[in-house]
Structure 1
Amino acid sequence: MRKLLIVSALVLFAGVAFGQTLTKGSVIGVHNYTITLQPDVTMNQFVEFWKNNVIPEFEKVWPGPKTIVMKGDRGEHKYGFATISYFESIEQRDKIYPTEGDPDDAAIPESLIPIMEELGKYIISYEDDYTDYVIL
């Protein structure tokens, strides 16, 4: 029940944050990351890099989907990092993520390789616990 309330709040927040109506058939991707940072990097530095560099580069390559970045403040994931992504349809989501999980390295466009390499300056590794929700 608690997870349902949290997911409901996140979906409602996503609709307000993106300033658009959540339409039937649209997809909300909720990603909760566990990040292992490089020793000299703070979570704030990583989040700022992700928000100001990674997301804009992804949006250049794949216009349409919108992503917001969040960091934990309280609760189970107090020190965590999460994103909510909004796709207008399953088809739009599938153009970027044709299968479950992260895109294959082969599917990552060459234009994103530099930003992904730069990401290695901030993190050692990450785990992505996610669920995509289709609006009914």
Structure 2
Amino acid sequence: MMKYVKMIKKGDILIVLLLIIGSFLPLGLFTYQQAMANQTDLKAVVKADGEIMYIFNLVDDGQTETYRYHDEDGHENIIVRTGDSVTITEANCSDQVCVRMGDIRKVGETNLCLPHKLLVEVQSDQPLETPNEIDVIS
């Protein structure tokens, strides 16, 4: 065991530390991007097969708004906006994953009903303003 410890050089330790720090870099960038997103002009977009079906404006006004999605195949979902959050409350699919998902209210959060190909996504009206865009790949 001791001969392996003697094989480790200062440069090896430096490389390992840089790799560990670098592995947390994407987490930091995505957290920063979420924090900088404009949380005031939010909307929840309901899409079925990629087509926009309904848009909820997420404002904390204490009101409840309901949208009932149904198609010719008999798929049915009930999407409810309560204040600044949206949830799928009922679905006639077999797995009920979308109902158990709970409410969404932050930019980028999604709720998906795979059997019905229904997506509810929270988006911001205003794009992220970054004067010097960071290219992570290069």
Whose helix fraction is larger, Structure 1's or Structure 2's? Answer: 1
> Normalising TM by the smaller chain, what interval?
under 0.3
- Bigger Rg, structure 1 or 2: 2
Q: Which has the higher contact order (CA 8 A, sep 6+)?
A: 1
TM superposition score normalised by structure 1: 0.25
Whose strand fraction is larger, Structure 1's or Structure 2's? Answer: 2
TM superposition score normalised by structure 2: 0.25
